Amino acid sequence: MDTDGTQDARGTRGTPVPRPATPPAVPGTPPPAVPPVPAHAPGVAAAPGSGDFLAWLRAPRPQAPPGIWRFGHRPRPEQEPDEVPARQLFTGALIAFLCAWLVWSLLWNGYLGGWWMWPYYALAPESWLRGDDEVIGSLSSYLYYGLVAFGLMSAAGRVGRWSDIWRRYLAPRFKRPAPREAEPAPQEDPARWPQLRAAGAAEAADTLAAEAGAGRMRDVDHARIERAWQSVRSGRHTLADFTRTVVTQGAAACPHPSGARDLPHRAARHDLATAQVRLGTAVDDERNPYQYRAAGLALSPELLGTSLLAVGPAGCGKTAGVTRPVAEALCLQALAGRAAVVVVAAAGAGLGPADDYDVVVRVGHPDSVYDLDLYGGTTDPDEAAAVLAEALTGDLADPNPGGERRRSTTVLAQLLGPYRMVHGRFPGVPELRELLDGAAVPLARLRKALDEGGHEAGLRELDARERQSGTPGDPGVVLADRIALLDRPAFAGFFDTSGNGRPFSLRALDHPVRVRIDLPERGHPDASRILARLVLAQFTASAAHREDRSLFACLVLDDASRTVTPEAVRGIQRLRSANAGAVLTLRTLDDVAAPLRSALLGATGCRMSLSGVTPWDGQQFAEVWGKEWTEARDITDRQIVADEPLTKVSHFVRKAITGKAPTAQSVTVRQVERERWSASELAHAVPPGHAVLSLTTVRGEHAPPLLVDLRG
């Protein structure tokens, strides 16, 4: 078993990238000192503290429908109980009490005769009835009166539903605090790691239990060691190595290559036991299914694996309410060795500090430590040409679907292949621009090098490029114009292919790496769109062809405007089967080409419409969410025509007092098919800070569109 990256040089190529958290064979260095754990209640925006960790670990997490926050959740029935309205309930209870009182008064005063005393006369001894023993006779008669009164009131309570009043309004006021739950049995206590004991690693289980009891373990440590244990169960590592590492390093065993065991700050509520991050609360509204009402709403990899599309105008809370919590959750999952995350956003978008990430690529910033690999780390010219063509020309309209991209791929391959044959690398941006422009000197130099090296295939490719250059419809002109957007002084130190820089490649998705790419949106918006398409194309290609798919890989693209292309939609569809997903946000669906809007909504399993969307955006969501059968009640008012003189007089008086003619209502109930959410409701009925969210898991389970309060 190797060192698992804990002692490797830091970098982004080859083995130096962060690897899955698995136990090293021999601990080479002592475990890092355990920083103090903040004492916060479990479930809040901080790691569970030393005293709260055990309570957090033992908290109930019942199975629930997709999207429900399971930490401490109390399941509700699927259908809402048929409860009587409060006004009707109290009115019925009062009437039942008055009726029972009236019957008792009539019985007591003899207005109903003495028949109700026959059972007493039949059962009482003669001495009681003759008055031989006045005390016992008096007590027995009053006891009988009490039984009769109690029977009347019991019948009234049953008819008047007094028990419902007690349950709904009085019992909660007299409720005692819930008793503290007893600790689970040792064989069922998760803090004692029963799965390790059952497999024969009792020494490791004792060490971890002692670490948890001493306050030296947190939720990220628990999740990370659970991940390492899974690697032992899968046969990738041995039980002896795992036990030796855990006994030596305790809660700090199997660390992330960064050495971090938590994020500096958490802005959202996380539950690493279920891999969930809480977004908000489902509104207690009749449009939400009853089992979701007032329940927490959360996302997890099983939902993000179907990809998420969030649409809403600027200022509606996409970044703070959706993108930031998801990115933070994935960074925590990466620290636990469960995920790899790439976050792409404009510089200063507020997606967490740099300390939350292992690699921060600040394109166009002179202080950026890392660079971006323009070719995605591949050595295949055709693959590099296809990805680069997608980034440069994927957004161009073409009457022949895929034709422009296919021609652009051919042009780039005709240049990248010969250049790599000569130099052993792909060209940088300035060199590629010269070749696409058809400059005579660079092409002649390349031809000479190919001829001297005997690269006949490269010469044929270059000859074909020169024959097509300058012809009508030559894609090289467009490619040269697009690549010129990256050949600016601000990017002079970026996209270096000479090997002197530190380029990040998305081929590192085999490891639990945390990456943030800052785009120069403010000064170079067109270049930022090209780079966003480049990262999206590289991600879909790399995630789908990973050797190790046990890590969940996710791309978070904070603004996907002018980024979605036909090939990107096909790539997003392939992510579900590769244990990967993408999170895309848009200000409006108009930022996507019209033919792709329905395809994009169909490719993503989780769809979110935030407050303030336009009616035409709402119409797209309404169509994809479909219709449902509902019960419609039609009420018709019909004026009453009186024939009798006395009735006419009463109607005349009633109309004079109320101003309305007497009417009779007729109610018609029928089943109709209506949209779950109409375009008008999505545009005007969603309150600020709210969203309508539908969910789909990778197993195919669905949650209907839910009205969610993102501030709750």
pLDDT digits (tens, 9 = 90+) for 154-195: 999 998 888 888 888 888 777 786 556 566 776 788 989 999
Residues 6+ apart with CB under 8 A from 276: 69, 70, 71, 270, 298, 299, 300, 329
Collapsing DSSP states into helix, strand and coil, what is residue 272?
Answer: coil
What is the pLDDT, as a whole number, of residue 86? Answer: 83
Residues 430 and 487 in one domain: yes
What is the pLDDT, as a whole number, of residue 88? Answer: 86
Residues 189 and 155 in one domain: no
Confidence grade of residue 400 (pLDDT, cut at 50, 70, 90): low
43-47, 183-187, 214-218, 529-533: range with lowest mean pLDDT? 43-47
Range list of β-strands (E), 484-546? 503-504, 514-519
Q: Identify whether the C-beta of residue 138 lies closer than 8 Å to the C-beta of residue 194.
A: no
What is the pLDDT, as a whole number, of residue 474? Answer: 86
Is the predicted pLDDT of residue 49 greater than 60, yes or no? no
What is the pLDDT, as a whole number, of residue 41? Answer: 35
User: On the CB side of 264, how many CA atoms lie within 13 Å of its CA?
Assistant: 6
Residues 6+ apart with CB under 8 A from 445: none
Mean pLDDT along residues 616-640:
85
Is the predicted pLDDT of residue 127 greater than 80, yes or no? no
Of 238, 263, 288, the one marking the end of a domain is: 263
Residues 156 and 209 in one domain: no
What is the pLDDT, as a whole number, of residue 588? Answer: 95
Let me know if residue 337 belongs to a domain.
no
Mean pLDDT along residues 242-262:
93
Residues 210 and 259 in one domain: yes
Residue 651, Cβ density class (10 Å: 0-12 exposed, 13-18 middle, ≥19 buried): middle
Residues 405 and 481 in one domain: yes
What is the pLDDT, as a whole number, of residue 181? Answer: 58
Tokens of 313: 């105008």
Let me know if residue 45 belongs to a domain.
no
Mean pLDDT along residues 266-288:
94
Q: Phi-psi bin for 700: left (phi > 0), alpha (psi -120 to 50), beta? A: left
80-84, 225-229, 364-368, 424-428: range with lowest mean pLDDT? 80-84
Tokens of 629: 């059968």
Q: How far apart are CA 469 and CA 473, in angstroms?
A: 10
Name 709's bridge partners.
281, 690
Portion of the chain with pLDDT greater than 70, in percent: 89
Let me know if residue 697 belongs to a domain.
no
Confidence grade of residue 402 (pLDDT, cut at 50, 70, 90): low
- In eight-state DSSP terms, residue 115 is G
Residues 120 and 192 in one domain: no
Is the predicted pLDDT of residue 652 greater than 90, yes or no? no
Angle at 46 (CA atoms; ends 41, 49), nearest 5 degrees: 50
Is the predicted pLDDT of residue 357 greater than 90, yes or no? yes
Higher pLDDT, 656 or 566: 566
Confidence grade of residue 142 (pLDDT, cut at 50, 70, 90): confident
Q: How far apart are CA 244 and CA 151, in angstroms?
A: 73
Of 206, 237, 263, the one marking the end of a domain is: 263
The 10 Å Cβ neighbour count of residue 378 is: 19
What is the pLDDT, as a whole number, of residue 125? Answer: 78
How far is residue 42 CA from its own chain's centroid? 20
Q: Which residues of 17-36 are buried (b: 16+ CB within 10 A; e: fewer)?
A: bbbbbbbbeebeeeeeebee
Confidence grade of residue 145 (pLDDT, cut at 50, 70, 90): confident
* 63: amino acid identity, one letter: Q
The helix (run of H) or strand (run of E) holding residue 325 is: helix 324-335
User: On the CB side of 61, how many CA atoms lie within 13 Å of its CA?
Assistant: 16
216-220, 425-429, 497-501, 609-613: range with lowest mean pLDDT? 497-501
Confidence grade of residue 397 (pLDDT, cut at 50, 70, 90): low
Let me know if residue 228 belongs to a domain.
yes
What is the pLDDT, as a whole number, of residue 27? Answer: 32
Name the nearest CA neighbour of 324 among 276, 281, 272, 268. 268
Q: How far apart are CA 576 and CA 306, in angstroms?
A: 5
Let me know if residue 119 belongs to a domain.
yes
- Residue 32's alpha-carbon distances to 19, 27, 29, 207, in angstroms, are 18, 12, 9, 17
The sign one gets for the Cα dihedral 621, 623, 625, 631 is positive
What is the pLDDT, as a whole number, of residue 606? Answer: 97
- In eight-state DSSP terms, residue 218 is -
Residues 477 and 393 in one domain: yes
Is the predicted pLDDT of residue 40 greater than 50, yes or no? no
Name 687's bridge partners.
none
What is the pLDDT, as a whole number, of residue 394? Answer: 86
Is the predicted pLDDT of residue 133 greater than 90, yes or no? no
Tokens of 543: 């995630």
Q: What string of H, E and C letters represents the secondary structure of 357-426? A: CCEEEECCCCCCCCEECCCCCCCCHHHHHHHHHHHHHCCCCCCCCCHHHHHHHHHHHHHHHHHHHHHCCC
Collapsing DSSP states into helix, strand and coil, what is residue 191?
Answer: helix
Is the predicted pLDDT of residue 658 greater than 80, yes or no? no
Q: How far apart are CA 547 and CA 371, in angstroms?
A: 25
Name the nearest CA neighbour of 118 among 104, 107, 132, 133. 107
Q: How far apart are CA 461 and CA 411, in angstroms?
A: 9
Q: Identify whether the C-beta of residue 356 lies closer than 8 Å to the C-beta of residue 486.
A: no
Q: How far apart are CA 265 and CA 324, in angstroms?
A: 12
Let me know if residue 156 belongs to a domain.
yes
Q: How far apart are CA 525 and CA 559, in angstroms?
A: 12
Higher pLDDT, 498 or 409: 409
Let me know if residue 113 belongs to a domain.
yes
Helix axes 403-423, 440-453, angle to 10 degrees: 60
Portion of the chain with pLDDT greater than 90, in percent: 57
What is the pLDDT, as a whole number, of residue 672? Answer: 79
Mean pLDDT along residues 619-638:
85
Q: How far apart are CA 568 and CA 505, in angstroms?
A: 19
Of 233, 263, 293, the one marking the end of a domain is: 263
Q: Which residues of 48-62 are buried (b: 16+ CB within 10 A; e: fewer)?
A: bbbebbbebbbbeee
What is the pLDDT, as a whole number, of residue 395? Answer: 85
Residues 18 and 96 in one domain: no
Confidence grade of residue 8 (pLDDT, cut at 50, 70, 90): very low
Higher pLDDT, 665 or 438: 438
Mean pLDDT along residues 60-71:
94
Rounded to 5 degrees, what are φ and ψ at 216?
Answer: -105, 15
Confidence grade of residue 119 (pLDDT, cut at 50, 70, 90): confident
Tokens of 658: 């109320």
> What's the first-to-final CA gap in the chain, in angstroms?
46
Q: Which domain holds residue 256?
A: 1-28+185-263
Mean pLDDT along residues 377-383:
91
Residues 6+ apart with CB under 8 A from 45: 266, 267, 268, 269, 270
Residues 397 and 487 in one domain: yes
Let me know if residue 47 belongs to a domain.
no
How far is residue 271 CA from its own chain's centroid? 12
Angle at 544 (CA atoms; ends 565, 232), nearest 5 degrees: 150
Residues 155 and 195 in one domain: no
Collapsing DSSP states into helix, strand and coil, what is residue 203?
Answer: helix
Is the predicted pLDDT of residue 597 greater than 70, yes or no? yes
Q: How far apart are CA 89 and CA 101, in angstroms?
A: 18
Q: How far apart are CA 348 and CA 353, in angstroms?
A: 10
Higher pLDDT, 77 or 421: 421
The average confidence (pLDDT) of the chain is: 85
Residues 385 and 487 in one domain: yes
Alpha helices for 202-284 (secondary structure H)? 202-213, 219-233, 239-249
Number of domains in the chain: 4
Collapsing DSSP states into helix, strand and coil, what is residue 183?
Answer: coil
Name 556's bridge partners.
343, 583
Long-range contacts of 669-672 (CB under 8 A, 24+ apart): 669/631, 669/632, 669/633, 669/634, 670/631, 670/632, 670/634, 671/629, 671/630, 671/631, 671/632, 672/629, 672/630, 672/631, 672/632
Mean pLDDT along residues 252-281:
94
Tokens of 612: 């303030």
Is the predicted pLDDT of residue 614 greater than 80, yes or no? yes
Measured in residues, the chain has a length of: 712
Residues 24 and 91 in one domain: no
